[in-house]
C-alpha cells in the first residue's frame, strides 16, 4: 500500500504541475498542445546545466539539482515564447503551432544532446546521465498508518511542486492578473475594453505554462529515467492535457485527475507484483488509468466546458 502512495505521488505531482501550466495557457485562451515539447526542452536545459556545473560541486551534493530545476523552468519559459509569438503575434493556428513546437523540440534536443556530448564533453552519447534524486522521510509523521506513506521516501521536488501549485492557485483565482487571465479565455473583448492588453496577458500565461512544464519535465528526468534522452518524450505532456480537460480546466479537479493517473499506475504495478503475474501482464494492467479515465469521462463530462474563446485568434475588430 505504501509503495502505491509513494510512487503514485512521485508520478502524479510532476504531471499536475505541467497540467497547471496548461490550465494557465488554456484559461487565457491559448490552446497548448506544446506541453510535451516544453517539458522536453525544460528537462534538456536542466540536464545540460547539471552536466556542466555538476563537477564543480562535491559528489552527493544536492545543490546542482536545485539549479537544474531553475534552469529547466527558464529553458521551458524561453522555448514557450516561440509558441506565444506564433499564436499571438503571428496568428498561427494554435493546435498546429503546438504540434510543430513538439516536433521541433524533439528534433532540437536530441540533435543538441548528441552535439554537446561530442563537442563539449568529448564522449559521443545520446543522453545526459543524472544521478537519481535523494528521497526524504519525515521522522514522526511517517509513522502514522496509511497517511504516513505520504511523508515517506518522497522526492524533494514534491515539496517544491506543492508550494508552486498553491501559489499558482492563488494567482489564478485571487489576484487581478488571474482575473484578467480567466476573462481573456472567456471574453477577451471585455478585457480589452477594460484597458488591458489581451496579447500581453496571454503571452505571460504561455510563458508561465512553459516554466511549469519545464519544471515538471525535469522532475520526470530526475525520478523515472535518471537521465535525459529521447525517452523523455513518452506522452506525459499529452497526458497532462488529458488531465486538465478531465479536470474541466480547474486546478482542484485537475489535481484529482492527476492523482487518479498516478495511483492507478502505481496500483497497477503493485497488482502485477502481488499476484505474481508474468511480466507481460503488466502491459494489460498499465491500461488501467486510461480505461478508468474514459469511463469516468462518460459519466462526468456532460458539464465539461472549455473556455469560450479557447483557440480563437483575438481580433480586435470582431464583435
Residues at the site binding another protein, with contacts judged by CB under 8 A: 33, 82, 86, 89-93, 95-97, 99-100, 102-104, 106-108, 110-111, 114-115, 235, 238-239, 241-242, 245-246, 280-281, 283-284, 286-287, 290-291, 293-294, 297-298, 301-302, 304, 306
C-beta of 235: minimal distance to another protein in Å? 7
Q: Which residues contact 241 (CB under 8 A, 6 or more apart)?
A: 19, 22, 32, 33, 35
Cell of 139: 521522522
Angle (CA) 243 244 249, round 5°? 155
C-beta of 282: minimal distance to another protein in Å? 9
Residue 182 vs 265, nearer CB to another protein: 265
Residue 89 vs 200, nearer CB to another protein: 89
C-beta of 160: minimal distance to another protein in Å? 27
Three-state DSSP class for residue 136: strand
Residue 28 vs 32, nearer CB to another protein: 32
Q: Is 153 left (phi over 0), alpha (psi -120 to 50) or beta?
A: left
C-beta of 47: minimal distance to another protein in Å? 16
Q: Is 127 left (phi over 0), alpha (psi -120 to 50) or beta?
A: beta
Largest alpha-carbon pair distance within the chain?
A: 64
Residue 152 vs 227, nearer CB to another protein: 227
- What backbone torsions phi and psi does residue 136 show, to the nearest 5 degrees? -115, 145
C-beta of 11: minimal distance to another protein in Å? 14
Residue 93 vs 187, nearer CB to another protein: 93
Amino acid at each position: 500500500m505504501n509503495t502505491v502512495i509513494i510512487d503514485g505521488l512521485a508520478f502524479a505531482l510532476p504531471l499536475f504541475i505541467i497540467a497547471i501550466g496548461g490550465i494557465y495557457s488554456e484559461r487565457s485562451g491559448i490552446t497548448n498542445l506544446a506541453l510535451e515539447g516544453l517539458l522536453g526542452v525544460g528537462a534538456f536545459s536542466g540536464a545540460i546545466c547539471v552536466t556542466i556545473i555538476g563537477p564543480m560541486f562535491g559528489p552527493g551534493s544536492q545543490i546542482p539539482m536545485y539549479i537544474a530545476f531553475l534552469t529547466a523552468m527558464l529553458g521551458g519559459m524561453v522555448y514557450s515564447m516561440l509558441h506565444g509569438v506564433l499564436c499571438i503575434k503571428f496568428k498561427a493556428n494554435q493546435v498546429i503551432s503546438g504540434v510543430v513546437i513538439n516536433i521541433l523540440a524533439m528534433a532540437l534536443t536530441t540533435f543538441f544532446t548528441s552535439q554537446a556530448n561530442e563537442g563539449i564533453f568529448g564522449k559521443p552519447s545520446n543522453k545526459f546521465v543524472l544521478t537519481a534524486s535523494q528521497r526524504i522521510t519525515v521522522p514522526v509523521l511517517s509513522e502514522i498508518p496509511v497517511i504516513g506513506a505520504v511523508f515517506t521516501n518522497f522526492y524533494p521536488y514534491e515539496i517544491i511542486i506543492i508550494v508552486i501549485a498553491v501559489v499558482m492557485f492563488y494567482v489564478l483565482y485571487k489576484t487581478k492578473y488571474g482575473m484578467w487571465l480567466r476573462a481573456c479565455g472567456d471574453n477577451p473583448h471585455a478585457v480589452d475594453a477594460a484597458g488591458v492588453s489581451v496579447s500581453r496577458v496571454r503571452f505571460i500565461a504561455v510563458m508561465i505554462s512553459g516554466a511549469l512544464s519545464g519544471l515538471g519535465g525535469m522532475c520526470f528526468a530526475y525520478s523515472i529515467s535518471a537521465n535525459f534522452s529521447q525517452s523523455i518524450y513518452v506522452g506525459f505532456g499529452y497526458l497532462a492535457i488529458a488531465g486538465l480537460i478531465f479536470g474541466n480546466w480547474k486546478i482542484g479537479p485537475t489535481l484529482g485527475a492527476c492523482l487518479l493517473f498516478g495511483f492507478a499506475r502505481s496500483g497497477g504495478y503493485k497488482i502485477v507484483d502481488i499476484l505474481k503475474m508474468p511480466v507481460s501482464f503488466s502491459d494489460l494492467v498499465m491500461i488501467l488509468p486510461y480505461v478508468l479515465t474514459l469511463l469516468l469521462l462518460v459519466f462526468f463530462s456532460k458539464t465539461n466546458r472549455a473556455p469560450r474563446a479557447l483557440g480563437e485568434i483575438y481580433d480586435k475588430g470582431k464583435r
